[in-house]
Structure 1
Amino acid sequence: MSGSNINSDTNNNINNNTSNNTSNNINNSNTSSDASNPSINKSNTSSNKSNNTNNNKSFIYEYEEFVKSHPKGHFMQSIKWAKVKSNWINEIITVRDENNRIKGSMSLLIRKVPFLNRTIMYSPRGPVCDIYDVETFKSLIEKAKELAVKYKSYVLKLDPDIEIQDTEFCKIVKQLGFKTKNDSENFESIQPRFVFRLDIKGKTEEEVLKNFSQKTRYNIRLAIKRGVTVRIGSKEDIPEFHKIMYETGVRDKFVIRDTSYFETLLDALGENARLYLAYYNGKLIAGTIAILYGNKCWYLYGASSNEHRNVMPNYLLQWEMIKWAIESGCDIYDFRGVSGNLDESHPLYGLYRFKKGFRGKFTEFIGELDYVFNPITYKLVEKSEIAFRELRRQLFVLKAKIAKEK
């Protein structure tokens, strides 16, 4: 492997996300390894409760700094994000150079597939490495293969932060044996395949605001003129935020997470996350959650009441989040998902039009990359997954409708 060391750096002090669903059928022992030589070394530490906390803290710091500073770094590759996903097991894979510095990594989330003695292995927006360094990328895959045996995973699923126009990377993943899935047009994939991204590198608030569409600037000023106020919330505000999140889910027909999920998110991300709340006449009418990690900022969640939408709180909330990104020295503000169908009659066109007004770049990612370990299970699960998500969505809408009629 030409001087590359592969290390699985997960232990009890780094991650306590143990899934009850996997405990009976899967060996979820944590592993660590010695980075002092080029071989793959594993030592089972699952029963050893006396792990070196200082070493763990040192690794966490090293890992987080690597991910934050890397051009392909993403908050979903952080250990903090793994803590949000408390119903998944987390494993961290690193590849080191000849000076024992991390040069590639993947945070893997692993969860049991219902009714099957198999797991899915997922690396959201991974890997974090030079994507053209085939040796490093291949080394990460080899370690993932080892973990796939340990956890009985049927697939390794990636959805890297790489645009579809990158033909060189497309060739690399094909050569490495990945199946590419890029047929999702709306929100069928795990992460959105189409987003808007705003370049704010080295720009002032005035320069950024000036570039917005005239209507977007007007609506921001209208919200201020009408008396909409925005404040930064805390964990204690989550129940109130969740009420309008639920209202949004019912209106737009998508499933929302429970209150505890958002509370965990704020706890785990800490200063990297902000809850923004918009009020009109003293009443909460909209809210958002933004994540700032490294030199990027993401608009992660948004909610709005059915009332007072004409005072344009969502425009002001976006502007407040963008200002946070600017003052923090970010290069990119990511509006996250939109539909890839740009037909004005499409049900999601309004979301596209709203985000487009901030004049970001419409970006299409490469899609999901699947490295299949068990073809039979893969075919079975992939065929049923979309149907299951749609059934779950319809049940949520039906449940909300019944509750409203009571």
Structure 2
Amino acid sequence: MAITTATPRPAAPAGTAAALRVRPLPPAEHLAFLRGRRALTDAGHGGQVSFLQTPAWARVKDGWTAEGLGWFDELERLVGTALVLHREAPGVRRTFAYLPEGPVIDWSAPRLEGWLDPLLAHLEACGAFAVRMGPPLAYRRWSAATLKDATGPGRSVHEVLPDRVEPVGAVVADRLRTAGWSRCDPGQGGGGGDAQPRLVFEIPLAGRDPEHVWQGLNQEWRRNIRKAARAGVQTGVAGPAELPVFHHLLGITERRDGFRLGRSLEYYERQYAVLNEEQPEGGMRLYTARYQGEVLAAHTMLRSADGARVWYQSGASADHLRQVRPSNALQWRMIQDAQMAGASAYDMRGVPATLDPDAREFGLLRWKLGTGGDAVEMLGEWERPLPGAVNRSLHKAMRGYLARR
């Protein structure tokens, strides 16, 4: 029977007429399904379609093997997908299975086990000893205004009453706990917490025109963007030939701000080539801000396969001439381009949870709060060892390894 891609509508609840089946999925069909998810994404049924769940991401990652999987209903319609990364445990031919910001399924389905049980059965048959996944669902939201009002010594985002609790995220969290999944919280049995940021910052774009987005910026952001324009800062999309300049500036930024991503130039070159091969319309873009011919800032932007979301992935800037505000100008250009491309949200990725103005890391949150967006706590990553004493032992050892990393 021919395999067809489902139309963008909520899938029938699992476990009604017939169980869903999981099997390997060719990359072309996988990508076609993700491209058709926009209606479900905007409706909130399936969560986000992350760049980490595209077939191309398997070719970006080093040290992992990968497989694409599809969920099929009783009519052989493709109704869900997953990119699974596998890392083999040393000395044994068993793997730790990881679904970053996935899978892409109908998380609002009334019987979640109808989706997850066939996934676990497939991974166990393939030799996995444990599974980690990151449901791409928002859990709680705080507006920029709420967090600005809550700023103070020793304060944290998690101590502040959220403006909104997302109902699908809250229900899924309860269902996962009931089904034996454990949230990857730091300090609880090792593991080091989430591999992907749990607290992110996003600017809503759906239903807003450019003037509304501009008015959402605080006075400091608007002033800095105007200052960059008066100084003659030029922003634009650059090609892969400018990636060495970006990587050089990234090193400067890491030393200045006290963090280390550990990503090589070759990593970004591979990412750029692979993501744009999969999405020629711009799976990954490099933006630069120039002043008097010199690149002072360079940022990377990623686009979801369904076009609903754009991510500001990595930002880099020089130490000198910061007074001409190249990073503010560059972000404003990227936000405008995301809106013109029809994205529903501009995702600025991770932010720290501290609201203490004396904490060094608060500067990043303060900068992003100025855009007038929302801090969003995602549902986070969840783990479950597969049945058997050996699997539980391997899972415990892997969590210790991740904690040490």
TM-score > 0.5 by shorter chain: yes
Q: Does the alignment pair 1:216 with 2:221?
A: yes
Gaps of 5+ in 2: 1-14, 42-46, 140-164, 277-281
Q: Does the alignment pair 1:234 with 2:239?
A: yes
Q: 1:202 is paired with a residue of what secondary structure?
A: coil
Contact 2:20 2:118 in 1 (8 A): no
Q: Name the aligned partner's letter for residue 88 of structure 1.
A: W
Among 159, 171, 177, the residue aligned to 2:134: 159
Q: Distance in 1 between matches of 2:173 and 2:37?
A: 23
Contact 2:312 2:349 in 1 (8 A): yes
Cα RMSD after superposing both structures: 2.2
2:10 corresponds to: none
The one of the two structures with greater contact order (alpha-carbon pairs below 8 A, sep at least 6) is 2
1:362 corresponds to: 375
CA shift digits 1:370-389 (9 cap, x unpaired):
0112222222222332322x
Q: 1:129 is paired with a residue of what secondary structure?
A: coil
Q: Distance in 1 between matches of 2:250 and 2:216?
A: 30
Q: Name the aligned partner's letter for residue 24 of structure 2.
A: D
Among 188, 206, 211, the residue aligned to 1:206: 211
1:32 corresponds to: none
Q: Does the alignment pair 1:344 with 2:344?
A: no
Contact 1:67 1:77 in 2 (8 A): no
Q: Does the alignment pair 1:196 with 2:201?
A: yes
Q: Name the aligned partner's letter for residue 384 of structure 1.
A: Y
Q: Distance in 2 between matches of 1:188 and 1:322?
A: 30
Contact 1:4 1:95 in 2 (8 A): no
Among 143, 155, 173, the residue aligned to 2:119: 143
Q: 1:268 is paired with a residue of what secondary structure?
A: helix
Contact 2:100 2:133 in 1 (8 A): yes
What does residue range 5-404 of structure 1 map to in structure 2 within 5 Å? Answer: 5-10=20-25, 14=27, 57=28, 59-67=29-37, 69-71=39-41, 72=47, 73-113=49-89, 117-135=93-111, 137-150=113-126, 152-164=127-139, 165=165, 166-183=169-186, 189-251=194-256, 252-270=258-276, 271-293=282-304, 294-373=307-386, 374-388=391-405
**Range with bigger deviation, 97-106 or 219-228:** 97-106
Q: Distance in 2 between matches of 1:70 and 1:83?
A: 27
Q: Name the aligned partner's letter for residue 62 of structure 1.
A: A
TM-score, scaled to structure 1: 0.78
Equivalent residue pairs, number? 340
1:78 Cα deviation from its structure 2 partner: 1.2
Contact 2:112 2:175 in 1 (8 A): no
TM-score, scaled to structure 2: 0.78
Q: Name the aligned partner's letter for residue 404 of structure 2.
A: A
2:12 corresponds to: none
Q: Name the aligned partner's letter for residue 64 of structure 1.
A: L
CA shift digits 1:192-247 (9 cap, x unpaired):
11111111113221221111111111111111122221121111211121111122
Change (3 A) 1:309 1:116: farther
Q: Distance in 2 between matches of 1:222 and 1:114?
A: 55
**Range with bigger deviation, 131-140 or 377-386:** 131-140
1:107 Cα deviation from its structure 2 partner: 1.3
Identity of aligned pairs, percent? 27
Contact 2:70 2:81 in 1 (8 A): yes
Q: Name the aligned partner's letter for residue 339 of structure 1.
A: P
**Range with bigger deviation, 134-143 or 71-80:** 134-143
Contact 2:21 2:73 in 1 (8 A): no
